[in-house]
Structure 1
Amino acid sequence: MEILYPLIGFALVHLLAVASPGPTFLVVARTAATGSRAAALVAALAVGIGALVWATAALFGLQALLVRFEWLYLTLRIAGGLYLVYLGIQLVRHAGKGDAVAAVAATSGTPSLARVFREALMVQLSNPKVAVFFGSVFLTLLPAAAPAWMVAAVLAIVFVNECGWFTLVALLFSGNTVRAAYRRARVWIERLTGGVLTALGLRLALDR
């Protein structure tokens, strides 16, 4: 039983981190409120896969690489931050328009599921701090020589937590009541969302 304690601790810490509002939450929530429920679920799946990519990279030493080569971490962070700034500015510029740029998976008409998946995945992969988070948590909670089954369990926990939480977000924000409220205040909500994305991007790019 004791060997399961690190996994339980990791699952709880990771779930708390996942539930913290961030760019991925904004993307999934807006996709759910403006697109179809299927599109929102696809966005949730993309976020889960993106987190799985970062977790796998951290398990195989990316976190140590980013710490050793600061320029690489800085480059990834600035690039990711600028991408979020771009999304935020585009969303503010096209707030409330039916032909809003697909900054967060919205285009004229109904966006393709492939485009929704790509945009949500890019937002998740835009933040290299996720890899640093995973690396730090792995070093703190997992044994130094974790067996293969534990590595597999950790990756499964990451995927289930991310997909589970954002599926809940997708289902909540795709409800008729939320959609109706969103439509009534769409311009201001999208301007606020764009502003938050821009601020998060600047913080990511400039944070020392």
Structure 2
Amino acid sequence: MTAAALASLALVQLLIAMSPGPAAVLTIRTAAVDGVKPALTLSVGLAVGVLLWAVAALLGLSLVFEIMPWLQTGLRVIGGLFLIWIALSLWRNAAAPLPETCTQVPRSTASILRLGVWTNLANPKALAYFAAVFTGALPADLTWVQALIVLAMIFVIETGWYAALSLLFSGTGPRRIYVRIKTGAERVFGVLLGLFGVRIALS
């Protein structure tokens, strides 16, 4: 794999990460509500979720879906229901006030990591990208060293993007604004995630 091909793949990966979706919604919400540390933890979980899709693609994900198309459909339905569940939780808790500081983390590090992993595992954008575009962009003679470089590149890009969102939206200014609009914002986030979930489950 040439340096130019790796750079092209990195650019595509960055654009995919930056495109709006449930991961970005959850990152912004976590940064504004829980603060920078939980949001950064979520960022790592999101990156791990994407990394698992990449590993699956390298191991022949597209071939598995070709042989068992029902598996891809089942994963989409499960992913959609997962996002709908998150959406309902956000809606129910929309009116709950924020703590005055971000020092009280309502969830454990492990639970936030799991949320990040499952959110991107449930993301059909990641499923479609890694099952088709990603595998098609890789050379047939990819070595295991090159595969590790590609995986490391994906992890750095994904973590870096969501970490940037975390740092941006956990600042005092964005948090102060979020306190004022929390109920409406939480319900908007809930509706967005719910719509993502319905679209995924029915696609």
Q: What TM-score does the superposition give when structure 2 sets the normalisation length? A: 0.91
Structure 1 residue identity aligned to 2:36 = R
Deviation (angstroms), 1:138: 3.0
1:63–1:132 Cα contact (<8 Å) kept: no
Q: Distance in 2 between matches of 1:71 and 1:98?
A: 43
One-letter code aligned to 2:62: Q
Name the SS of the counterpart of 2:2 in structure 1: helix
Deviation at 1:95, TM superposition (A): 0.8
- Map Cα deviations across residues 131-190 of structure 1 (whole Å, 9 max, x no partner): 331232233322112112211111011101100000000000100000000010000000
Q: Which is further off, 161-170 or 117-126?
A: 117-126
Q: Distance in 2 between matches of 1:92 and 1:166?
A: 23
- Using the TM superposition, give the Cα deviation of residue 98 of structure 1 relative to its aligned residue in structure 2, in angstroms: 4.2
Partner of 1:79: 78
SS in 2 for 1:185: helix
Distance 2:135 2:35 in 1: 40
How many Å separate the matches in 2 of 1:154 and 1:72?
A: 26
Runs (5+) with no aligned partner, structure 1: 100-107
Partner residue of 1:147?
143
Deviation at 1:126, TM superposition (A): 1.4
Q: Is the 8 A contact 1:10 1:137 kept in 2?
A: no
Taking the aligned partners of 1:83 and 1:175, their CA distance within structure 2 comes to 29
Q: Which runs of 5+ in 2 are unaligned?
A: 99-103
Supply the distance in 2 between the matched residues of 1:131 and 1:199 (Cα, whole angstroms): 18
Decide which moves more: 83-92 or 183-192. 83-92
In the alignment, the residues of structure 1 paired with residue 66 and residue 198 of structure 2 have an alpha-carbon distance, to the nearest angstrom, of: 21
Q: State the alpha-carbon separation in 2 of the partners of residues 124 and 184 from structure 1.
A: 29
CA RMSD of aligned residues (A): 1.7
Larger RCO, structure (CA 8 Å, separation 6 or more): 2
Partner of 2:200: 204
